Amino acid sequence: MIRAGTGPTRKGTDLETRKKAVEIRQVSKMFGTFQALETVSFDIYDNEFFTLLGPSGCGKTTLLRMIAGFEEPSTGQIVLHGNDIQALPPHKRRVNTVFQNYALFPHMTLEQNIAYALENLGWPKEMIRARVAEMLDLVHMSKFARRKPQQLSGGQRQRIALARALAPEPEVLLLDEPLSALDLKLRQAMREELRALQRQTGLTFVFVTHDQEEALDMSDRICVLGDGRIQQLGTPREVYEDPSNRFVAHFIGETNFFDVDVLSVEGDMARVRTPLGLDLTASQKHVAADQSRATLSLRPEKIGLEEQATGEILTGTVTSTNYLGGYTYYVIRVGEADIRVSRRNAMSHVPSLAEGATVRLGFLPESARVLGQ
Amino acid sequence: MRDFRFWGLLPAHVLMALTLIVPILIIVAVSFSTRGAYGGFEFTFTTDAYRQILFNEGWTGELEFNPQYLYIIGRTVLLACCTTFLCMALAFPIAYWITLQGHKARVILLFAVTLPFWVSMIVRVYAWLIILGNDGVIEKGLRLTGLVDDLPSLLFNNGAMLAGMVYSYIPLMILPVFASIEKLDPALIEASHDLHGSRWVTLRRIILPLCWPGLVAGAILVFVPCLGAVLEPVLLGGGKILMMGNLIQMQFGGARNWPFGASIAIVLMCLVMVFLLLNGLRATRKAMEEMA
Q: Which residues from chain B sit within 8 angstroms of residue A92, using beta carbons?
A: 196
Given pLDDT bands bounded at 50, 70 and 90, which one contains residue A8? very low
Q: Is the pLDDT of residue A6 over 50?
A: no
Q: Give pLDDT, residue A286.
A: 81
**pLDDT digit string (tens) for A286-326?**
887 777 888 889 999 898 888 777 888 888 899 988 888 88
A91–B198 CB contact, under 8 Å? yes
> E strand or H helix at B223, and its extent?
helix B208-227
Domains of chain A, residue spans: 15-94+170-241, 254-371
Amino acid of residue A104: L
Q: CA of A173, closest CA in chain B: separation in Å?
A: 11
Amino acid of residue B73: I
Q: Give pLDDT, residue B125.
A: 86
Q: Is the pLDDT of residue A65 over 60?
A: yes
**pLDDT digit string (tens) for A205-217?**
999 999 999 999 9
Q: Which of A69-73, A168-172, A358-362 has the lowest mean pLDDT?
A: A358-362
Q: Is the pLDDT of residue A4 over 50?
A: no
End-to-end CA distance of chain B: 37
B209–A164 CB contact, under 8 Å? no
**Strand ranges (DSSP E) for A210-326?**
221-226, 229-234, 256-266, 269-273, 279-284, 293-298, 304-305, 312-323
**Strand ranges (DSSP E) for chain A?**
20-31, 34-45, 49-53, 75-80, 83-84, 95-98, 172-176, 204-209, 221-226, 229-234, 256-266, 269-273, 279-284, 293-298, 304-305, 312-323, 327-334, 337-344, 358-363, 369-371
CB pairs under 8 A between A and B: 61
Q: Give pLDDT, residue A15.
A: 56
Taking domain A15-94+170-241, whether its CATH number is 3.40.50.300 is answered by yes
Q: Give pLDDT, residue A11.
A: 47
Q: Is the pLDDT of residue A14 over 60?
A: no
Annotation: CATH topology of A254-371: OB fold (Dihydrolipoamide Acetyltransferase, E2P) (2.40.50)
- The Cβ of residue A58 has, within 10 Å, a number of other Cβ atoms equal to 24
Question: Which residue numbers of B have CB closer than 8 Å to A's CBs?
Answer: 185, 187-188, 190-198, 201, 205-206, 209-210, 290
The beta-carbon neighbor of A120 closest among B187, B196, B210 is: B196
Q: Give pLDDT, residue A124.
A: 95
Q: One digit per residue, pLDDT tens: chain B, 292 residues?
A: 677 888 889 999 999 999 999 999 999 998 888 887 776 778 788 888 888 888 887 777 778 888 888 898 998 999 999 999 999 999 999 999 999 998 999 999 999 999 888 888 888 888 888 888 777 777 777 777 777 666 677 777 788 888 889 998 999 999 999 999 999 999 999 999 999 999 999 999 999 999 999 999 999 999 988 988 888 888 888 777 788 888 888 888 888 888 888 999 999 999 889 988 988 898 888 888 776 6
The beta-carbon neighbor of B206 closest among A89, A105, A121 is: A105
Query: What's the CA gap between A193 and A103, in Å, rounded?
Result: 20
Given pLDDT bands bounded at 50, 70 and 90, which one contains residue A1? very low
B197–A101 CB contact, under 8 Å? no
Taking domain B67-257, whether its CATH number is 1.10.3720.10 is answered by yes
The answer to whether A328 faces chain B, any CB pair under 8 Å, is no
Using an 8 Å Cβ cutoff, are A315 and A334 in contact? yes
Domains of chain B, residue spans: 67-257
Q: Give pLDDT, residue B8.
A: 87
Exposure string for A151-164, b = 16+ CB within 10 A, e = fewer: ebebbbbbbbbbbb
Q: Is the pTM of this model over 0.90?
A: no
ipTM score for this prediction? 0.83
Q: Which residues from chain A sit within 8 angstroms of residue B198, using beta carbons?
A: 91, 120
Using an 8 Å Cβ cutoff, are A109 and A148 in contact? yes
Query: What's the CA gap between A245 and A297, in Å, rounded?
Result: 9
For residue A27, what are the β-bridge partners?
A: A40
Q: Which of B194, B200, B215, B289 to mutate to test the interface with A (most CBs of A within 10 A)?
A: B194
